[in-house]
Amino acid sequence: MLNIVLHEPEIPANTGNIGRTCCATGTRLHLIEPLGFVLTDKTVKRAGMDYWDKLEVFRYDDWDDFKAKNPDAKVYMATTKAKKTHTQVNYEPDCYIMFGKESAGIPEEILVDNEENCVRIPMGHDIRSLNLSNSVAVILYEALRQNDFLGLETEGNLHRLNWKE
């Protein structure tokens, strides 16, 4: 099972959207404090719709608490400062993919200690970053693709109608 880690997220709607994406993909969500909102905030619930109760969520006091409780975790870190793209690594089925807060990203001191696991989403020169929930979806679905979508439904079923009537 894949894991998404949000380091000090600030915008409740982003976290709600990410929670919904995690539910849709069978992914665990890890939240590192401090949060810029209360998890019971109606905007988190609204963005996560009625899926929030199906979400496996873990909370941590800080980065050190996360590391202590997940000592063997392979953590990939999404940052615009990475040298390699998110498609240039092989995501293990139980890896963690971490994203920083909307206003500042993952702290520099954490990135420096983990530079070999830093990845970026390619984008234009004049754009600072993508929306956090969009970034999570882009990288998470690449990790899922690499792992044959880990038991997710991969085929739909069209209902054929006679449109000529």
Taken in order of first residue, the domains within the chain and their CATH numbers are 3-151 (3.40.1280.10)
Return the half-sphere exposure (C-beta side, CA atoms, 13 A cut-off) of residue 53.
1
What does the pLDDT look like over 16-27, one tens digit per residue? 899 999 999 999
Q: Has 129 been labeled as part of a binding site?
A: yes
Residue-level pLDDT at 163? 63
Question: How much is the mean pLDDT over the chain?
Answer: 91
Residue 106 annotated as binding site: no
pTM score: 0.91
Which pLDDT belongs to residue 155? 86
Work out the average pLDDT over 130-145: 97
Give the separation between CA 49 and CA 84, rounded to whole angstroms.
Answer: 34
pLDDT in tens, 51-99: 778 889 999 999 999 999 999 999 999 999 999 999 999 999 999 999 9
pLDDT at 165 over 60: no
Of the candidates 130, 128, 100, 125, which has an alpha carbon nearest to the alpha carbon of residue 114? Answer: 100
Residue type, 151: G
Q: Which residues share a beta bridge with 57?
A: 29
pLDDT surpassing 70 at residue 164:
no
State the sign of the Cα–Cα–Cα–Cα dihedral 34, 36, 38, 39. Answer: negative
100 belongs to an annotated ligand binding site: yes
- pLDDT bin (cut points 50, 70, 90) of residue 152 is confident
Residue 41 has pLDDT above 90, yes or no: no
